Structure 1
């Protein structure tokens, strides 16, 4: 019998292929470095941080029935995730994300999440067929949702009664996909996790600080918004006000997955009863450890 998950992570679970170089890079750079392939995707990065903190995450995603998909399923299970609810497609290949990072940060990235997008609402079947929930008895636990889903499916989720009882935590997959989260700006149960650029996209303006961005999102109707800004101060905005904290200063060795680590650590802290101030501090510390090369535990 499958163990009941502590949280559902809905979105991209794919192979991350990351090239990292210890030197500064620019367009056209050809330098030595390391290339790794690991399970990745926004939903997966969140799930793994949750697992390291002791929670049992379950993934709702689309993974192909190809050799890469079989290998990915095995790797994910070995890393502590429940994969029983994943939609396995015979017609769609397993998705891939590829990025190049230098000492000066992310240089370029391409996310091939076309299979997840093509699968559509098939990945949500366990929330409808009684496995995890149904319209009559919607799932009432934590859900982490990422913006790699299509605009149509995100719109559907924002309106769906299947999510009416959930504690919904939402993050864009990238600044370029931030606009997909528009349906959650006025969602009464959604907590938005965005960086400064993504906040600006949602509000169609530019912000000079995370505090201003959090205030802007609240004015646009967000129930709650957490805004990060790299090594600068991050903010948590609710109807009770905005709190802002400075992250620990660390040497940056990687950046891909930092926002996902922040989100996961924040969710864990609140699930353990931390105050808003303590949860924000714990999330910033976890993200700082992650970008410095340490595990975010």
Structure 2
């Protein structure tokens, strides 16, 4: 889709019965211009039927965690082993769920596959996820296990100091759940897995869907080991430094070791590698180039959720182009937008804002020289 078509889809998802004149006024263009765009979008199959129904033949499947996030943030410098005055914020979270909501806000058709308890937290997560535009038809509710909860304490800079996760509900996800929705999963253009899933569920999906382009969020260095021996099945991976070391066994100490890690994965069949480096940006590699994506410093209100937004943006871009550099630029913009809110997801996430953020924070690509792939 073109930039203008994305803007139109963004409006039509919220107001499918809007008339062309109102749509033109909203976009600041003529009615005739809108009519041309609508006609072209119908020819492309983006829009189908009356009421501007958005076709969802090309959708992304996200299989992963959904939980309630609880964050504690001190008002002043964080003091260990002491009570810190501050604020407590609760919001829907979970790596898979966050990626799915960000995709929906980026106007990408997305279906979420996860487990929720039959409890208040599960009800809140279901309602918020549906409200964002995610297809939740295939979420399974569990009566005997509570919805996952993630509790994190941050320092005054928004960086995590410690966390506790209650995620035993995902131990119940054996092969039976993904097998029950396998037909829907197999129709996805792209699929993202996070390692909150049980090893059995991960192995089942990777072996039963060999033709599906898989994207991996390793979640943590401990859980990353669940897919270490299946890494060749992934098209794209987005680990941080600790996770990449767990997957490859190669310590990250400098730029040269990043290159060594990238070559390790490329030789095993991974096509796109994004290693997140905190305030250094992101190291990016594919079969033709390696480099860094960086931006001006930004204020951080909450570091949680930035990686999930990055993943959503690269998947959105992957639906349209194989330009890994553009994937990374959009991913960085989504991460910065998320860092600017106390919540795990920025409700202002949309394609237009990504373009604005790229300019505002001067997001740039820097090629890594003298590297043979």
| TM-score using structure 2 length | 0.71
Among candidates 337, 341, 345, match of residue 289 of structure 1:
337
What residue is the counterpart of 1:218 in the other structure?
263
- Report the counterpart of residue 61 of structure 1 in structure 2: 114
- Contact between 2:61 and 2:188, CA under 8 Å: does it hold in 1? no
CA positional deviation for 1:214: 5.2
Partners of 2:304 and 2:238 in 1: CA distance: 16
Shift of 1:40: 0.6
Q: Distance in 2 between matches of 1:255 and 1:36?
A: 13
CA contact (8 A) 2:71 2:90 kept: yes
CA 1:186/1:273 → structure 2, altered by over 3 Å: closer, same or farther? Answer: closer
Cα 1:50/1:174, change in 2 over 3 Å: same
Matched residue, 1:124: 178
Paired residues for 1:1-297 under 5 Å = 4=56, 6-104=59-157, 105-128=159-182, 130=183, 132=184, 138-160=186-208, 163-187=209-233, 189-209=234-254, 212-213=257-258, 215-220=260-265, 221-224=268-271, 225-273=273-321, 275-293=323-341, 295-297=348-350
Deviates more, 1:272-281 or 1:74-83: 272-281
Secondary structure (helix, strand or coil) at the match of 2:108 reads coil
Going by fraction, where is strand more abundant, 1 or 2? 1
d(CA) in 2 for partners of 1:111 and 1:79?
A: 24
When residues 15 and 235 of structure 1 are mapped into structure 2, their CA distance, relative to the original with a 3 A threshold, is: same
Shift of 1:210: 6.3
SS of the residue corresponding to residue 133 of structure 2 reads coil
Alpha-carbon spacing, 1:213–1:97, altered in 2? closer, same or farther (3 Å): same
Give the direction of change, closer, same or farther, for the CA distance of 1:214–1:126 in structure 2 (3 Å limit): farther
- Supply the distance in 1 between the matched residues of 2:180 and 2:190 (Cα, whole angstroms): 15
* Alpha-carbon distance in 1 for matches of 2:73, 2:148: 21
- Measured in 2, the distance between the counterparts of 1:108 and 1:72 equals 23
- The alignment covers a number of residue pairs equal to 286
Which structure would you say has the larger Rg? 2
Determine if contact 1:223/1:239 at 8 Å carries over to the other structure: no
More moved, 168-177 vs 271-280? 271-280
Superposition deviation, residue 26 in structure 1? 4.2
Larger proportion of helix: 2
CA distance in 2: counterparts of 1:29 and 1:210, whole angstroms: 38
List structure 1 runs of 4+ shifted beyond 3 angstroms: 209-212, 294-297
CA RMSD after TM alignment: 2.2
The CA distance in 2 between the partners of 1:6 and 1:64, in whole Å, is 26
Q: In the alignment, is the contact (CA less than 8 A) between 2:149 and 2:165 conserved in 1?
A: yes
SS at match of 2:214: strand
Gaps of 5+ in 1: none
Distance 1:146 1:211, change over 3 A: farther
Q: Is the 8 A contact 1:9 1:60 kept in 2?
A: yes
Structure-2 separation of matches of 1:233 and 1:38: 26
Once the 2 structures are TM-superposed, how far is the Cα of residue 74 of structure 1 from its aligned partner? Answer: 1.9
CA distance in 2, matches of 1:51, 1:100: 28
TM-score, length basis structure 1:
0.87
